[in-house]
Every structure is written in structure tokens, then in C-alpha cells.
């Protein structure tokens, strides 16, 4: 039985080799904001998604956990645009698909873009400090019928490849990078077999602020979030939630990779992932000017359930 399951996962992997996934768009308060499409990188001029070189919609392996590619995917570069949000908002994250065989956790992190004059548009990704705000706990929901069981990614698939993320209520105003990640464990029993799919988007948290200081002749934003962890220190290849066999035996628990959930985090429970947002319009991202102010960055699109 185990061998048959592995063969099924192997076949699924080959069929999906060039069709893993990326974030299509976010929905925030009914407004739709485009992510980065690696298949048409110049199609959207005001994407809030960081660009990558992952034209295969592929993954980052555990051997690269200390490499900058784990931060915001391969050759990740920041977007100029930011999606406006408020502390406590819920964000619906739409992926362009996810293979049924790719079971694992759904993780989300936030990092403030500190000491900048243009928000996150030119931030050094290696200096970002990440706090985990969603760990999709308990991740392994049940193993009725035997391994591999039902995982958080199965919930994502059942909701048309979407995940609902809650932002902390006490976020200070200012620019942030949201790092949203799926980890596929179907080959995690093999050395270097786990597959990480990190995606980054820029957010501008609105409010009476943000805090800024003057450096020379320019204002720069002061970090508004509690100190976190560099992305290159989030995981180790030997972590029990990374080096794991999800097929051999029934698992009683799953150790979620990465740091613990932030005390201020407000994740949406798995049981409430069906509470979807309705798209009412294409949102207008903003670009950050003079550290503490923004201007709209429209591109004239109309709302659509586009493919990417």
C-alpha cells in the first residue's frame, strides 16, 4: 500500500513538474491585487508580488535553507507597489493551483521594511526580520483511512486553492513584506526531498503614522514590528517537520517547522477557511514616497478571475 502511495505521488510529481504554483492575487476587503506571474513577468505593471526567476513554478530545497533564495523564492526582487491594508484585516490569498499529492503546512510571516524611504520597494531582503503570524495548526488534521491523511494543504485545495490570513490587530502603520509559503512533504523522506514554495508581496498598513526619523535630508520609516528571525534561519534540513516520512505509518503529531507563532498573531482557524471574500473591484496599489506617504499606482485593469 505504501509503495502504491509513493508511486502515485511520483506520478503526480512528474505530471506537475512544470505546474506547481505561485500566488495569483490577494483579495483585501473585496479589492483584488495582482501577484507576480513568472510566466508573464511584464504583463502587470503594478503587481504587489516580488518577482522571481521560478518560471517552472518550482521550489527551494532544504539544501538552500541558508541561501537567500529561501527568503522570497529564487532570485526574489521586491515589487514597487504595495497593497493597502489595516491592522486586523483578513487577506484571501489565491494560488493558481496546488497538486493533491503535495501535502504539508501553510505558513505566513511578516517583516517590516525599516529605515527606508520607498517602503519595501528597494529593501535588502537579507536584512528582513520575520515573525510568524500563521502556522495552519494543527497542519495534520486526521489520518482516517491511513497515511498520508488530511493536511492543511488539502484545506487550501478544497477552498479553490485559497488561504484566508488574519493580520495582527496591533500592527503599527507602515510598509511590510508578507511571506506566504507552502511546504510539500511527499518526498520529505528522502534527503533534500522537502519542497518549499515561498512567495512575497508588499503591504502598506494604513493608520496614523508610521513612525519615522530624519536621516540626513530624508525621512526613513522606523521598524514597527517586534524583532523576528532572518528567513535564512527559519528552517534546518534536519527539522522533524522537514525530514519526515508521511507515508510509512500513521503520525500522531506533526512538528510545524520554523519559529513559534507570534503572541499577537490572529490566524484564521482551519474550520473557518471557507469564509471567502467576494471580489468587488480591482484594488489600486500604492507606492511609498517620502517614507510616510503614498500615491496610487493604477494600471486600468478590471476585476477578473484571471489565470497565471
Q: Identify the residue with better confidence: 79 or 208.
A: 79
Give the whole-number percent of the chain exceeding pLDDT 70: 85
What CATH code would you report for 23-287?
Answer: 2.70.50.70
Confidence of residue 292 (pLDDT cuts 50, 70, 90): confident
Task: Give the per-residue pLDDT at 64.
Answer: 98
Q: pLDDT tens digits for 14-69?
A: 333 444 899 999 999 999 999 999 999 888 889 999 999 999 999 999 999 999 99
In the block, cell 522571481 appears at 52
Full DSSP string of the chain: -HHHHHHHHHHHHHHTTT----EEEEEETTEEEE---TTSTTS-TT--BPB-S-TT---B-GGGTTSTHHHHSTT-B--S-BEEE-TT-EEEEEES---TT----EEEEEEE--S-SSTTTT--GGG--BEEEE--TTSEEE-TTSTT-EEHHHHHHHTTSEEEEEPPTTPPSEEEEEEEEEEE-TTTTSTT--EEEEEEEEEEE-SS---EEEETTEEEEPP-S---B-GGGS--TT-TTTS--SSSS--S-----SSPPPTT--PPPGGGTT-PPPP-EE---EEEETTTEEEE------------
**pLDDT tier for residue 9 given thresholds of 50, 70 and 90:** very low
Task: Give tens-digit pLDDT for 274-291.
Answer: 988 889 999 999 999 877
**274 or 217, higher pLDDT:** 274
Task: Check pLDDT > 50 for residue 5.
Answer: no
Least-confidence region, from 226-230, 231-235, 266-270, 300-304: 300-304
Q: How confident is the model at residue 144 (pLDDT cuts 50, 70, 90)?
A: confident
Residues 6+ apart with CB under 8 A from 186: 9, 12, 13, 101, 102, 103, 148, 246
Amino acid at each position: 500500500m505504501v509503495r502504491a502511495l509513493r508511486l502515485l505521488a511520483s506520478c503526480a510529481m512528474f505530471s506537475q513538474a512544470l505546474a506547481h504554483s505561485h500566488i495569483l492575487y490577494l483579495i483585501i476587503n473585496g479589492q483584488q491585487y495582482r501577484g507576480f506571474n513568472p510566466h508573464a513577468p511584464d504583463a502587470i505593471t503594478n503587481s504587489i508580488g516580488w518577482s522571481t526567476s521560478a518560471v517552472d513554478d518550482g521550489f527551494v530545497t532544504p539544501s538552500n535553507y541558508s541561501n537567500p533564495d529561501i527568503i522570497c523564492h529564487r532570485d526574489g526582487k521586491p515589487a514597487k507597489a504595495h497593497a493597502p491594508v489595516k491592522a486586523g484585516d483578513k487577506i484571501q490569498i489565491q494560488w493558481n493551483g496546488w497538486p493533491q499529492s503535495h501535502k504539508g503546512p501553510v505558513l505566513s510571516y511578516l517583516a517590516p521594511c525599516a529605515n527606508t524611504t520607498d517602503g519595501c520597494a528597494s529593501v535588502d531582503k537579507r536584512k528582513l526580520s520575520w515573525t510568524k503570524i500563521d502556522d495552519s495548526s494543527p497542519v495534520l488534521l486526521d489520518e482516517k483511512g491511513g497515511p498520508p491523511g488530511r493536511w492543511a494543504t488539502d484545506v487550501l485545495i478544497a477552498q479553490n486553492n485559497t488561504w484566508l490570513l488574519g493580520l495582527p490587530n496591533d500592527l503599527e502603520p507602515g510598509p511590510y513584506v508578507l511571506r506566504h509559503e507552502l511546504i510539500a512533504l511527499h518526498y520529505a523522506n528522502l534527503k533534500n526531498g522537502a519542497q518549499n514554495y515561498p512567495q512575497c508581496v508588499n503591504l502598506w498598513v494604513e493608520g496614523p503614522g508610521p513612525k519615522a526619523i530624519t536621516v540626513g535630508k530624508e525621512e526613513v520609516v522606523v521598524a514597527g514590528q517586534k524583532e523576528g528571525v532572518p528567513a535564512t534561519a527559519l528552517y534546518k534540513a534536519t527539522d522533524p517537520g522537514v525530514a519526515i516520512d508521511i507515508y510509512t505509518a500513521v503520525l500522531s503529531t506533526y512538528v510545524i517547522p520554523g519559529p513559534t507563532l507570534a503572541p499577537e498573531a490572529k490566524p484564521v482557524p482551519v474550520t473557518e477557511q471557507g469564509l471567502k471574500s467576494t471580489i468587488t473591484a480591482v484594488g489600486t496599489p500604492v507606492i511609498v514616497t517620502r517614507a510616510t506617504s503614498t500615491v496610487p499606482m493604477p494600471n486600468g485593469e478590471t476585476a477578473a478571475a484571471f489565470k497565471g
